[in-house]
Amino acid sequence: MQLTIDDALRERLANLRELGRAKIRPLGLEADRLGRPVPPDDPFYGLLLKLGLGRTRWLGGAEPSGGERSKREARSAGPSLTGVLLSEELAYWDRGVAVSFPGPGLGEPPVLAMGTEAQKERFLAPFQAPDRPRWGSFAMTEPGAGSDVAAIRASARRDGDHWILNGDKSFAANASRADWIVVWATVDPTQGRAGHRAFVVERDTPGLGDFVIEKKMGLKGYESTSFTLRDCRVGADCLLGGEEHYARRAGFKGAMKSFNATRPMIGAMAVGIGRAALDAAVDFAREHERLGDPRVRDRLERTRRKLRSARLLCWRAAWLADRERPNVVEASMAKAIAPAAALEATILGMELLGAVGGRGDHLIEKLFRDVKAMDIVEGTGQIQRLIIARHLVHLPRD
């Protein structure tokens, strides 16, 4: 595995660190105290655009050929590894605020993996040099369908040149501020995953509405939003990949391919949160002269070791993704292991804080609440372990 990073990426990481210290951490603490996400018109987002952030990874016509790409990636980090490194740094400062960053977000991987060239142009080109902060969103989860995505009930019915969508979605990141949302629906619930279709639903489409920002225990810097689709009519050209894509029975695989790209990033974000908790725990232990206690030192060392091992798994999964090599097992391992290691770091921090942690105003206490969701999003830890077992010991599907 080649993990060299070039000077440009090193500089990007250093700049993020400065931004994190000066802006991201304070905004995250404020959002947590006020119990609401950073508002979409906050000047911080304009600043991000000026810094060249909030853009799509899609290069449009300038997309390098496979040969050029692999030569470049052999020299340095490809887009997935870059994403993993930047994600960890951002989450170190505040994972909630990091998810609120403008950009196509979780909506981007399915558009890249499944979309036609015309759809990439239509939905991603505005994110190439955005004139204002723009967001994309991804909505699979429903009140009755989380881990078991085959259970989604949002329906899609063809009507001439249009599709009519009906259903309820929940917990979609940045949905109420998004230019568009990738919405998963089914043409026939009896077909399970084979009936799934992905649509890009643009803001202000009649029938898309009832946005409600959900209450969360942590990660308050960004909005997780429920919404409804009521006879929501979208053009046939909003069906990602067009009908041919689903004739090849590739619909669900499209969603899964997205997750294989994003799970290592979720793992890396968990590592970032865990590292922040551990650094704060070491500071606290030093201030309170606890570092001389071998039991404390041993636990700090063990937690650091677990976080570093988890980080290597994330890097490996991303490195494979950059080479378009199968990474299902590695992506699931990264996602199963990193949040558990990060949770352990926050628990250790809480234990060291003692009564101070119970007051509810210490950074470690916030990170303790933030980290739980990392085990839930994009497939819970249990689901990752099932995926790993299916591949490694051929655990039957059901």
Ligand X SMILES: Cc1cc2nc3c(=O)[nH]c(=O)nc-3n(C[C@H](O)[C@H](O)[C@H](O)COP(=O)(O)OP(=O)(O)OC[C@H]3O[C@@H](n4cnc5c(N)ncnc54)[C@H](O)[C@@H]3O)c2cc1C
User: Which residues in this chain contact ligand X in the complex, by CB under 6 A?
Assistant: 106, 138-141, 146-147, 171-173, 216, 219, 224, 373, 376-377, 380, 382-383, 386
CB of 147 to ligand X, least distance (A): 3
Q: Give the C-alpha separation, 85 to 265, whole Å.
A: 8
Residue 362, both tokens: 């210490």
Decide whether 78 or 104 has the Cβ nearer to ligand X: 104
CA separation, residue 375 to residues 178, 257, 260, 333, 364 (Å): 25, 19, 16, 12, 18
Decide whether 216 or 275 has the Cβ nearer to ligand X: 216
Residues forming a β-bridge with 165: 156, 232
CB of 140 to ligand X, least distance (A): 4
Decide whether 78 or 83 has the Cβ nearer to ligand X: 83
Decide whether 139 or 240 has the Cβ nearer to ligand X: 139
In sequence order, which residues have a C-beta less than 8 Å from that of residue 392 and are 6 or more positions away? 329
CA separation, residue 280 to residues 92, 275, 287 (Å): 11, 9, 11
Strand pairing class (180-186; 136-139): parallel
CB of 54 to ligand X, least distance (A): 17
φ, ψ dihedrals at 120, nearest 5°: -60, -45
Residues forming a β-bridge with 185: 197
CB of 369 to ligand X, least distance (A): 11
Decide whether 73 or 108 has the Cβ nearer to ligand X: 108
Decide whether 296 or 383 has the Cβ nearer to ligand X: 383
- Which H or E run includes 28? helix 25-34
3-class secondary structure per residue, 328-387: HHHHHHHHHHHHHHHHHHHHHHHHHHCHHHHCCCCHHHHHHHHHHHHHHCCCCHHHHHHH
Residue 378 annotated as catalytic: yes
CB of 382 to ligand X, least distance (A): 3
Quick one: DSSP state of residue 20? I
Q: Is-contact 219 192, C-beta < 8 A?
A: no
Q: How many CB atoms lie within 10 A of CB 231?
A: 11
CB of 343 to ligand X, least distance (A): 13
Pinpoint the alpha helices (H) of 207-327. Answer: 242-247, 251-287, 294-322
CB of 16 to ligand X, least distance (A): 22
> Which of the following is catalytic: 88, 89, 223, 378?
378
In sequence order, which residues have a C-beta less than 8 Å from that of residue 13 and are 6 or more positions away? 85, 86, 89
Decide whether 142 or 365 has the Cβ nearer to ligand X: 142
Phi-psi region of 281 (alpha: psi -120 to 50; beta: other; left: phi over 0): alpha
CB of 220 to ligand X, least distance (A): 10
φ, ψ dihedrals at 128, nearest 5°: -75, -40
Decide whether 172 or 270 has the Cβ nearer to ligand X: 172
Instruction: List the catalytic residues.
Output: 378
